Amino acid sequence: MSKRAFDLLAASIGLVVLAPLFVLIALWVKLDSPGPVFYRQQRVGRGGILFNILKFRTMVVRPDDQRQLTVGRDPRVTRAGHFLRHYKLDELPQLLNVVQGTMSLVGPRPEVPRYVACYPADVRALVLSVAPGLTDWASILYKEESTILGRAPDPERAYVDTILPAKLDYYVRYVRERSFWMDLRIIWRTLVAIAH
């Protein structure tokens, strides 16, 4: 089975099975704070093509707020948002991105353009040669990224200088070593990490 066929089958089944959970989360988000249920943000996809990533909204709506990092106990995060982020439930709408073909179940996580601009040229070409994923090794190992950044005196600098290069190492490793069995391992490890 090809990667795309697996993605399409698994994401479609996931959307059907999780439909009741989607409805409950959507109601919770809507009742918890004013604003839309979904959050859309431009990310860089395969070949450098921009696309809108989908998430359940976890922050209060502040149109003038341009910050792209969530740090520690960020006051912008809603009550529902804290729970959804902890268990990665805010990422579930990306199954729609997978069905659309802008994302894969497993692959390097898509970044916003300002951070992709920080990738070394050779690394950028390699990482963007595959579809970005809903999960990968870096997502598992940096599950508590916002907490780590919350301890840094300069979160932006810590992300660009320390966390991003570490993530890129995992992205490059994935692209070079990817296989169907590795994808299954990453999916399983992701589910285990979320449950803890």
**SS3 assignment, position 191:** helix
* pLDDT tens sequence across 92-139: 999 999 999 999 999 999 999 999 999 999 999 999 999 999 999 999
Tell me which residue has tokens 């959804």.
84
- Average of per-residue pLDDT values in the chain: 91
CB contact burial 135-164 (16+ within 10 A = b; e otherwise)? bbbbbbebbebbebbeebeebeebbeeebb
pLDDT at 41 over 90: yes
Lowest mean pLDDT among 38-47, 138-147, 158-167: 138-147
- Amino acid making up residue 185: R
pLDDT of residue 142: 85
Around Cβ 88, how many Cβ atoms within 10 Å?
Answer: 16
Burial of 1 (C-beta count, 10 Å sphere; 0-12/13-18/19+)? exposed
Predicted pLDDT of residue 62: 74
Predicted local confidence at residue 40, as pLDDT: 95
Number of domains forming the structure of the chain: 1
Residue 68 — pLDDT band, cuts 50, 70, 90? low
pLDDT (0 to 100) of residue 126: 97
155 Cα distance to chain centroid: 19
Long-range contacts, 56-64 (Cβ 8 Å, 24+): 56/25, 56/26, 56/29, 56/84, 56/89, 56/90, 56/92, 56/93, 57/29, 57/81, 57/90, 58/29, 58/82, 58/84, 58/85, 58/90, 60/33, 60/35, 61/33, 61/34, 61/35, 61/36
Cα separation, 134 vs 6, in Å, equals 14
Per cent of the chain over pLDDT 90 is: 73
Predicted local confidence at residue 34, as pLDDT: 93
Q: Which residues constitute the domain of residue 156?
A: 3-195
The tens digit of pLDDT for each residue in 137-160 reads 999 988 877 777 777 788 788 888
Percentage of residues in the chain having pLDDT higher than 70 = 95
